[in-house]
Structure 1
């Protein structure tokens, strides 16, 4: 093989990635979609992305994109096609349906004009999955949905009003998006039973885990705590990421109320932020911080004593929150208030970097936090396992190689079936 083909294995290929979330969003699915597209562009592919306007996790359109209907950008060697859509400031079944419908209509009526060799779509966006399936069928090319989460179960369990009806509609859209696939990628094996229940044969499913996409902490921990106003003798429990219904962050607000000697910090944004603020009114030991930028994100995580991940007890937890890989990188112990049988619990157990407690139980969260605070050597040992787990299992190169293998499989099969 010529040297150039080693450096650019996808040269001559044209790829389309459909993802409602994309850079410059720095949390959630956006960073994964961006790094994957840029990886393929760097390997020689003409890579296009069909996406929306940046809005996550605040659920407010980024000021730089307000009033913009369509945009074409070049980011990291990738051609990004943005289409305007409705952004609901509060989550109800109707508002979420309008969000998905606006993404779907604009994406199908104004797709990129080039014919791809393959279409890759990121779920849980129902519209993104349907758009990917339709565009792949229109061009007669392979289609690969990548399941980061599934909306069918989430809609019914999230607490969104009208969630039962929304779940039925979401399930129909997901079934269409998944059964139309050439191959289906899932980020965790806990998704496999759900995907097969939609009618996808297990032999058409490939596990393609997410990777750690943040830098290791580098700032002096004491300096960061001083800057944030965190006293060295006060334990800090921090949650970072989306403040949505699914997260059930009320458990941390209630924990702060039970333990005035512990500082609880909620860092991020989301449609439940104001409701959580109202619930936390009068609590001097609970802080709200805006989302941190990439240059200081893991430094802030590392400055905390304990990192928390929470979900409602009713949530069927198959996904693995992107925050978890960042938590592991920071080297701090994790307390996971989640269902014991879910994907998050499995990752915490595999890493050995934290403790599991029952969801929606403030007393259980506090007991775990106090155990870690009172046993600093044990807490340090748990935290130290996180970076090691990332190095062994969540490396970017290994993860992207799995995506390359998935893409190679579908393209080789498509090439073999084309008339010569």
Structure 2
């Protein structure tokens, strides 16, 4: 099959939509499909184009079955955009304007710059490549018209995948405010959505919103975000209690977890697909938590807690310590502290971690306020890892707080180690965003076996997923957010029970292999219609 992907974010971006699009394309290529990607130079989440790329010129990259063949103008020291081994991937990066300071108007111009620069490439590739499916990912909605026109030019099926309802979110969060503009833009978005042959999204509530926007339910397809449960896994449980999870923290399937109105308004067939009840949605883990050699029962060697590239290579890295103590005799808590030392996170603390984009939608001011409110608790330490449009504002707010530590974005091969430094994962969210965006970072939080403190209204998808695997509080409620963190800090047994339930849910319902396998089946079905 031939697939043309038109999207704003792509590998080597390691978080968010770029990560998922890159992994999707890699899986398609490994399955033998031919893929052309029209995208931008990598810029997210730091909102700055990487030094080896340019926002002013077009650039082509290519990888074929032999693995490392590239066009002459492609740098050999840049990590390629695919891990393809059998199919082929061609990546064309288009000019993009990235603002130094992000505002509502500048964000629109930023999106428009790619929307315009990519038009000739997408249309030309549609005519020359003759894809079977032309696909785009929202954000950015500005890609939708070009994607639809390209599919009609070459007689292909057109597929829209909605990661965020970016337009709804922009108005709900006050990034854009004009009521007339809101009506016009939302009407145009809904008009375009109804013209796609397939429209997918990542959660039942978001699928319901597509139907509410007028998309024919027969064209709506679930395509949830996934996690590699081997790459992201608990290396040691948060605490020293390693008993089995209690009944109150047991994992039920996604259909039982999604008690929101989506279950009442979507058809039974679509809900069955969205809930992961089909056999393709189940992992091969057979209910195991997938700890393997590096889980809680594997002893306390620090080598078992580090990324797969090995302890010697990490120790030789400039950013990691050159000497690591022998940890054979350490308790699980001491082993975790040894792991934290690699990131200069204080030992002996209960660590509440946020790792992800630092932007307007995230509501990270709640973490700052929680740190203020719990500042007299010497056990508790906050870590915020990431960058983004709001980083400078956040850094200034955190500066007077001794219990808050800021870390830069970590490369993927260290990310699992970082996530395992946490006792508690934090998922703040501003009011109005919980069913317009489904944070991709939640999958990694669950897979690494840590309880989550999340901000979400009852009945939203975030609340449904986190319930029983963490604590859910109302958005923008700083007092409740701080109280939930304090409660988990004080109750190690509760942390471990919720952590095990979180891991089990990830293994059962967020398997990368199963979700991408089902997606390819859906692609084939769309092409054959």
TM-score normalised by the chain length of structure 2: 0.72
Note the alpha carbon deviations across 1:331-356, whole angstroms, 9 max, x for none: 1111102222322112212xx32110
* Structure 2 counterpart of 1:313: 431
- SS of match in other structure, 2:362: coil
Displacement of 1:247 in angstroms is 0.8
Measured at CA, do residues 319 and 162 of structure 1 come closer, stay the same or move farther in structure 2, by a change above 3 Å?
closer
Of residues 84-93 and 185-194 in structure 1, the stretch that sits farther from structure 2 once superposed is 84-93
> Which structure has more RCO (C-alpha within 8 Å, separation ≥ 6)?
2
Matched, 1:105 2:90: no
- The alignment yields a C-alpha RMSD, in angstroms, of 1.8
Displacement of 1:181 in angstroms is 0.6
Partner Cα distance (2:43, 2:191) in 1: 26
Note the alpha carbon deviations across 1:133-188, whole angstroms, 9 max, x for none: 12112222100111111112101022325465664454244224411211111111
Structure index of larger Rg = 2
CA contact (8 A) 1:190 1:319 kept: no
CA contact (8 A) 1:264 1:287 kept: yes
- SS of match in other structure, 1:154: helix
Matched, 1:127 2:153: no
Given the alignment, which residue of 195, 201, 206 partners 2:216?
201
Displacement of 1:67 in angstroms is 4.9
* Structure 1 counterpart of 2:399: 281
Displacement of 1:58 in angstroms is 1.1
Given the alignment, which residue of 244, 250, 265 partners 2:359?
244
* Structure 2 counterpart of 1:145: 160
* Structure 2 counterpart of 1:155: 170
Matches for 1:384-399 after TM superposition, within 5 Å: 384-399=500-515
Note the alpha carbon deviations across 1:362-412, whole angstroms, 9 max, x for none: 221221112112111111111112221111100011101221121011111
Matched, 1:259 2:374: yes
* Structure 1 counterpart of 2:488: 372
CA contact (8 A) 1:337 1:356 kept: yes
Partner Cα distance (2:345, 2:150) in 1: 51
Unaligned runs of 5+ in 2: 63-81, 236-304, 307-334
- SS of match in other structure, 2:37: strand
Matched, 1:40 2:28: yes
* Structure 1 counterpart of 2:42: 54
Partner Cα distance (2:434, 2:465) in 1: 15
Note the alpha carbon deviations across 1:104-158, whole angstroms, 9 max, x for none: 1111122334221111111121123333212112222100111111112101022
Unaligned runs of 5+ in 1: 1-12, 414-420
* Structure 1 counterpart of 2:498: 382
Measured at CA, do residues 67 and 141 of structure 1 come closer, stay the same or move farther in structure 2, by a change above 3 Å?
closer
TM-score normalised by the chain length of structure 1: 0.90
